Amino acid sequence: MSTKASPIFTGAAVAIVTPFYQDGSVNYDELGKIIEDQIANSTDAIVICGTTGEASTLSHEEHLDVIEYCVKCVNKRVPVIAGTGSNSTETAIYLSTEAEKRGADALLLVSPYYNKATQKGLYMHFKATADAVKIPVILYNVPGRTGCNILPKTVVDLAKDTENIVAIKEASGNISQIATLAALADGIIDIYSGNDDQIVPVLSLGGIGVISVLSNVAPKQTHDIVAKYLEGDVKGSTKLQLEAIDLVNSLFCEVNPIPVKHAMNMLGYAAGPLRMPLSPMEPANEDRLRASMKAYGLLK
């Protein structure tokens, strides 16, 4: 039976990009620079090798090297949460145990994609993976990318039966489902918004933060959305949330992380190119993104 521990983090965690050189290799120097800027601007945790970090195109060796580099660079200043999910349970266990050895503070496990497992299969997959490690686990529900929805009862069963499954990143976009989860969970699992346009709605249902794409370009502002809400300034938090909506929409006008990688390059970071099958941004969408960044005050 799980007993509720302290949260892995409260606030805004950045789902950080993985910068590449033009030849496609990982640009560790730039990753270090981005991590330093994130910590300096109040980011509450770093999620490395998630969707935004293009983990699906990294080899296992690269994946683990990037996690290890991030852990050493951060040096315990904020929690490092390693994305180690896979649609193969064996691979998820391998990546998770290796990330734990390399010093990750917690894991982010996406639901198995493509296989479209049943709820029983999801339970077995997540339990087997979490049982293979001692560090905390955040489940990641993003049906739009995986074709597979982790239902509230499955989440609660996992939290009750597995000591280190302690949180979920909810990116279903379905506020009704998140409300049902919060009611069923009754505080047994921490809920993070997985969508930047739903930070305040998820906080209103008892959520404690966000795992954010927006934080790559606006770390302080994203942190402040959560901080203000949790301090009781709901009106101030809501104002910041609504001010960011146009930029958030532009950051998702093509599949993530295409726009945010372009946005980082616009801000002067050497985020570099994307790995195929992701493609360069369409010019009209790039113009839209630039206009949104100007309106938000990120560009002159």
Residues annotated as part of the active site: 140, 169
Contact 125, 114 (CB under 8 A): no
Pure H helices in 82-213 = 89-101, 119-131, 143-146, 152-161, 175-185, 199-204
Answer whether the bond into residue 277 is a cis peptide, omega within 30°. Answer: yes
Task: Quickly tell me which residue has 């300096």 as its tokens.
Answer: 40
Q: What does the DSSP assignment read for 263-296?
A: HHHHTT-----PPTTS-PPPHHHHHHHHHHHHHH
| Angle, CA 143 vertex, CA 54 and CA 96 arms, to 5° | 50
The CB density around residue 136, as the number of other CB atoms within 10 Å, is: 22
